[in-house]
């Protein structure tokens, strides 16, 4: 005799889809947590200047994701070491939170920005 599956059993729970926008936010947040990364001023269409941290684009298929990151680093900075740390941190966070496999991470360092003390305190 075969019993029907329980209502809350794994086979009846449906599916889970994590939107690329969520993966993008996780990657950006993880990248911003790496020592040596910084926020950059960028022109925002129609709004003038604003500051923001890393930006990310997400691609891939199935459970494999490809990430393209754009970051600004503090100057002077050991670029290779920081980018290595960044790749490790982003991979770890995306895989831990989403269970997707990070297949590739391309990183563009778009700025090296010195620490400048504020003029007014």
The 10s digit of each residue's pLDDT in 21-74 is 999 999 999 999 999 999 876 555 555 555 678 999 999 998 999 999 999 999
Q: How many CA atoms lie within 13 A of 60 on its CB side?
A: 22
Those residues with Cβ within 8 angstroms of residue 88's Cβ, 6 or more apart along the chain or in another chain: none
Is 40 in contact with 110 (CB distance < 8 Å)?
A: yes
State the sign of the Cα–Cα–Cα–Cα dihedral 74, 79, 37, 53: positive
Spatial separation of the C-alpha atoms in residues 102 and 56, rounded to whole Å: 13
User: Is the pLDDT at 3 greater than 70, yes or no?
Assistant: no
Query: Strand 55-61 vs strand 48-52: parallel, antiparallel, or unpaired?
Result: unpaired
Q: Domains in the chain, ordered, with CATH? A: 17-113 (3.30.70.1350)
User: Is the pLDDT at 82 greater than 80, yes or no?
Assistant: yes
Whole-structure pTM value: 0.80
Query: How would you classify residue 91: left for phi > 0, otherwise alpha for psi between -120 and 50, otherwise beta?
Result: alpha
CA distances from 48 to 42, 52, 94 (A): 8, 13, 32
């Amino acid at each position: 005799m075969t019993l029907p599956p329980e209502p809350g059993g794994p086979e009846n729970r449906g599916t889970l889809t994590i939107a690329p926008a969520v993966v993008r936010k996780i990657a950006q947040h993880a990248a911003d947590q790496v020592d040596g990364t910084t926020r950059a001023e960028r022109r925002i269409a129609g709004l003038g200047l604003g500051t923001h941290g890393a930006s990310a684009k997400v691609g891939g298929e199935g459970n494999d994701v490809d990430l393209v990151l754009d970051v600004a680093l503090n100057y002077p900075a050991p670029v290779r070491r920081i980018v290595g740390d960044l790749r490790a941190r982003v991979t770890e966070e995306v895989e831990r939170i989403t269970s997707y496999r990070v297949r590739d991470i391309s990183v563009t360092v778009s700025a090296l920005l010195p620490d400048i003390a504020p003029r007014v305190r």
